């Protein structure tokens, strides 16, 4: 497809026909008018900050508050700044655990709760409830629950199990954060999967059952392939959400113990809002955006195959 | 005008973010010789001064005192610590007494109300001879691996490792434990802000402790008001600062919000009102005056103070929860060297 035909195609899509030199048709103008608020918001709240961060990432403060210069200084510092790469590593572990965990849990719950049974509605509500709790409130609640002298340890003790340090141990804190973040979001993923399950035509399953397909075969050959779209959506969005995990770390552990929950957003936040090192924070953010864009593109490519 | 915490003094001062108040009517009145009714103690003015320039009008003061639960001490046969402001108990004695109180039934022996915050731990480290942790002409050189830092924070870690205080309880969640009557000794920040009013047990107040071979040290510095140098109404702003920071009426009004007023006369009036309302605070007035005048140390006046404080607070959190003291401080030193070089 050449550039010219693509351009014409674009015009045709917006305006139902090429009007030549007379300018855009009425429909085209109306279409742009309707799109304008969303596009403006997108530019102002997403693209503009990205561009500003990208520019700021090349702005280097001079020692002693003597103005700024333009260059690669922030990137050079970042390349030798270990805590940043450690935070990327921590985030990678978090993503690698949180994404399959959340998808798996959401799928199991969707399969159970999509069936009509007594109390199914109530159960679904309970699972979705964490969604309406603000992240900061949820983190504070879990902070008290998981305290070494808190209720969860009280229950463990009562059951004769050893008390756990949870958020105060470098070996457990990240898992606690993953648990808290997953608790908050898994109900949302489940809702999407239930909608997907309800979209699967009954006839298909009935036909398969008549042909002698068992439950497992039906799940593997019918349910899973037909859930492909909602699963793709969840994979992409849970990856991004996990990558950008921030509230539980900031509120509960400040990135500790021993940096074990210092996820990349904590690192960027600290540089920007605590150290006021806007250049370094912007350089870190730029690299983060590149990584995320690459990851999402890769996911789309892998998951789009055969669609 | 804007609120300027003591932690921002050097940052605002070095960047010209705040109007230099030194030679204004406010600055002159605040620095007047002590008999003047507007004079502020030098230790308080220091917390708002950067390189000789006064950059904020202090509004409140900060200090530490030792609270003790009389019921729990009596139960353990421990005599009450003296409320004489010049005779602080030592940290070493306090550790033993806390263990004794716990053995006799107290749930916890010794806790702090702000367990992680650097500025609330700075006094203990200074008392151990460790200094503030920042040295050099601009306070941009970290010095957090010296003997005093290791000694102060090893003591701190031991308190938690021995179970004298629970690990993992963040800032803001200690007061309910003290208020429940579960703690024998409690080192608290300006302990008359209503946090201890909720208690219905008997308690007393004593001056802040220090190490046996050091001196007792208290933190200082709280919020003040700074003026935007580009404001068209700096004169009106300075009138307001003078009212809020240097008159008893302004001081009393400020205490309706938080903490203790910065003007000694207003502080005394507020404390007396508190003590009248709660006789358990008997002796606090003298303790506050002596502590502010003689025991307080300012935060290091570094333009990078907030960077230093965040990193150090995280290290203190780790140490409290059991991380190796020497290794954690060595890591902190390395991180700070890199961060403060920016």
| Per-residue confidence (pLDDT) for residue A130, from 0 to 100 | 87
Q: Does the pLDDT at position B334 exceed 60?
A: yes
Q: How confident is the model at residue B217 (pLDDT cuts 50, 70, 90)?
A: very high
In this model, does residue B138 exceed pLDDT 60?
Answer: yes
Determine which of A110-119, B262-271, B280-289 has the lowest per-residue pLDDT on average.
B262-271
The CA distance from A3 to the nearest CA of chain B, in Å, is 48
Q: Residue A143: its chain B contacts at CB < 8 A? A: 170
Which residue in A81, A91, A112, A75 sits closest to A286, CA to CA? A75
pLDDT per residue rounded down to tens, chain A (307 residues): 344 444 444 444 444 444 455 677 888 999 999 999 999 999 999 899 999 999 999 988 765 556 677 888 899 999 999 889 999 999 999 999 999 999 999 999 999 888 888 888 888 888 888 888 888 888 889 999 998 888 999 999 999 999 998 998 889 999 999 999 999 899 999 999 999 998 888 888 788 888 888 888 888 888 888 898 899 889 999 999 999 999 899 988 888 888 899 999 999 999 998 888 889 999 999 999 999 999 888 888 877 764 4
Size of interface A-B (CB pairs under 8 A): 63
Do A258 and B313 count as a contact with CB atoms less than 8 A apart? no
- Out of B11, B166, B317, closest to residue A148 by CB: B166
Query: Alpha-carbon distance B197 to B178, whole Å?
Result: 11
User: Which chain B residues touch A254 with a CB distance below 8 Å?
Assistant: 310, 313-314, 317
- Band (pLDDT 50/70/90 cuts) for residue B199 is low
Residue B194 has pLDDT above 80, yes or no: no
Q: In this structure, which long-range contacts are made by residues A171-176, counting pairs with CB atoms below 8 Å and at least 24 apart in sequence?
A: A171/A260, A173/A253, A173/A256, A173/A257, A173/A260, A173/A261, A174/A90, A174/A93, A174/A94, A174/A260, A174/A261, A175/A97, A176/A142, A176/A146, A176/A252
Residues of B in contact with A172 (CB under 8 A): none
Q: Strands B108-112, B53-54: parallel, antiparallel or unpaired by DSSP?
A: unpaired
pLDDT, tens digit (0-9, with 9 covering 90-100), for B118-133: 999 999 999 999 999 9
pLDDT in tens, A117-141: 888 888 888 888 888 888 888 888 9
- Residues B254-269 have a mean pLDDT of 77
CB of A33 less than 8 A from some CB of B:
no
Cβ-nearest to B342 among A168, A257, A277: A277
Q: Which tens digit of pLDDT belongs to each residue from B4-50?
A: 999 889 989 888 889 999 999 999 999 887 777 888 888 889 899 99
Task: Categorise residue B282: left if φ over 0, alpha if ψ from -120 to 50, beta otherwise.
Answer: beta
Restricting to B residues 114-173, those with a Cβ less than 8 Å away from any Cβ of A are 166-170, 173
Question: Closest to B306 (Cβ–Cβ): which among A144, A259, A274?
Answer: A274
What's the pLDDT score for residue A15? 45
Grouping H, G, I as helix, E, B as strand and the rest as coil, residue A238 is: helix
Per-residue burial over B269-294, b = 16 or more CB atoms within 10 Å of its CB, e = otherwise = bbbeebbeeeebbebbbbbbbbbbee
Does the pLDDT of residue B165 top 80, yes or no? Answer: yes
Question: Chain B partners of A83 at a C-beta cutoff of 8 Å?
Answer: 335
Burial of B106 (0-12, 13-18, 19+ CB in 10 A): buried
Cis peptide bond upstream of B70, omega within 30: no
CA distances from B157 to A117, A254, B121 (A): 54, 19, 12
Distance from the Cα of A257 to chain B's closest Cα (Å) equals: 5
pLDDT of residue B170: 82
Determine the pLDDT at residue A4.
Answer: 42
Task: Give the pLDDT of residue A219.
Answer: 85
Q: Is the pLDDT of residue B292 over 70?
A: yes
Looking at residue A9, its pLDDT comes to 43
- A83 interface with B at CB cutoff 8 Å: yes
- DSSP character at residue B227: -
Question: Mutual orientation of helices A73-80 and A278-304 as an angle, nearest 10°?
Answer: 70
- Interface predicted TM-score of the whole assembly (ipTM), two decimals: 0.76
**pTM for this prediction:** 0.83
DSSP code at position B144? -
């Amino acid at each position: 497809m050449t550039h010219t035909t693509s351009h014409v195609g674009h015009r045709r899509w917006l305006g139902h026909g090429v009007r030549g030199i007379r300018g855009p048709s009425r429909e085209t103008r109306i279409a742009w008018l309707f799109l304008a608020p969303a596009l403006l918001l997108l530019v102002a709240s997403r693209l503009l900050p990205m561009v500003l961060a990208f520019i700021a990432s090349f702005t280097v403060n001079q020692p002693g508050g003597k103005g700024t210069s333009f260059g690669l200084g922030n990137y050079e510092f970042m390349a030798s700044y270990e805590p940043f790469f450690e935070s990327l590593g921590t985030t990678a572990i978090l993503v690698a655990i949180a994404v399959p965990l959340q998808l798996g849990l959401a799928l199991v719950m969707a399969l159970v709760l999509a069936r009509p049974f007594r109390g199914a509605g109530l159960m679904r509500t309970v699972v979705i409830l964490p969604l309406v709790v603000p992240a900061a409130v949820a983190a504070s609640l879990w902070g008290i629950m998981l305290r070494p002298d808190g209720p969860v340890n009280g229950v463990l003790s009562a059951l004769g199990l050893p008390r756990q340090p949870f958020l105060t141990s470098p070996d457990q804190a990240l898992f606690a954060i993953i648990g808290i973040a997953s608790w908050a979001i898994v109900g949302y993923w489940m809702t999407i999967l239930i909608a997907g399950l309800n979209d699967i035509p009954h006839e298909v399953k009935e036909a398969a059952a008549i042909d002698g397909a068992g439950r497992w075969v039906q799940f593997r050959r019918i349910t899973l392939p037909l859930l492909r779209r909602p699963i793709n959506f969840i994979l992409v969005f849970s990856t991004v959400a996990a990558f950008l995990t921030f509230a539980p770390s900031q509120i509960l552990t400040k990135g500790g113990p021993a940096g074990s929950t210092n996820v990349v957003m904590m690192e960027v936040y600290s540089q920007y809002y605590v150290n006021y090192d806007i250049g370094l924070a912007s350089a870190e953010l730029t690299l983060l955006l590149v990584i995320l864009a690459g990851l999402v593109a890769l996911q789309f490519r892998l998951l789009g195959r055969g669609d | 005008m804007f609120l300027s915490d003591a932690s921002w003094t050097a940052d605002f001062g070095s960047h010209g973010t705040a109007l230099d108040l030194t030679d204004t009517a406010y600055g002159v009145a605040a620095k007047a010789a002590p008999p003047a009714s507007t004079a502020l103690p030098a230790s308080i003015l220091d917390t708002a001064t950067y390189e000789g320039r006064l950059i904020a009008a202090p509004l409140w003061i900060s200090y530490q005192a030792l609270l003790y639960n009389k019921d729990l001490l009596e139960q353990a046969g421990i005599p009450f610590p003296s409320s004489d402001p010049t005779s602080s108990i030592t940290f070493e004695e306090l550790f033993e007494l806390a263990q004794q109180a716990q053995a006799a039934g107290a749930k916890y022996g010794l806790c702090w109300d702000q367990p992680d915050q650097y500025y609330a731990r700075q006094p203990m480290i200074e008392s151990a001879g460790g200094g503030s942790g920042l040295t050099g002409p601009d306070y941009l050189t970290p010095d957090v691996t010296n003997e005093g830092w290791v000694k102060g924070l090893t003591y701190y870690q031991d308190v938690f490792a021995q179970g004298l205080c629970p690990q993992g309880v963040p800032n803001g969640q200690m007061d309910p434990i003290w208020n429940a009557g579960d703690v024998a000794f409690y080192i608290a920040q300006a302990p008359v802000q209503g946090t201890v009013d909720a208690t219905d047990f008997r308690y007393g107040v004593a001056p802040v402790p220090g190490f046996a071979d050091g001196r007792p040290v208290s933190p200082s510095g709280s919020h003040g008001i700074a003026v935007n140098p580009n404001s068209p109404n700096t004169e009106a702003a300075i009138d307001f600062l003078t009212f809020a920071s240097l008159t008893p009426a302004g001081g009393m009004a400020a205490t309706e919000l938080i903490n203790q007023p910065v003007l000694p006369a207003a502080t005394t009036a507020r404390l007396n009102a508190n003590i009248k309302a709660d006789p358990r605070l008997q002796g606090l007035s003298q303790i506050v005056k002596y502590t502010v005048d003689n025991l307080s140390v300012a935060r290091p006046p570094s333009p990078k103070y907030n960077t230093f404080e965040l990193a150090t607070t995280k290290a203190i959190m780790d140490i409290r929860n059991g991380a190796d003291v020497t290794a954690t401080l060595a890591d902190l030193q390395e991180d700070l060297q890199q961060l403060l070089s920016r």
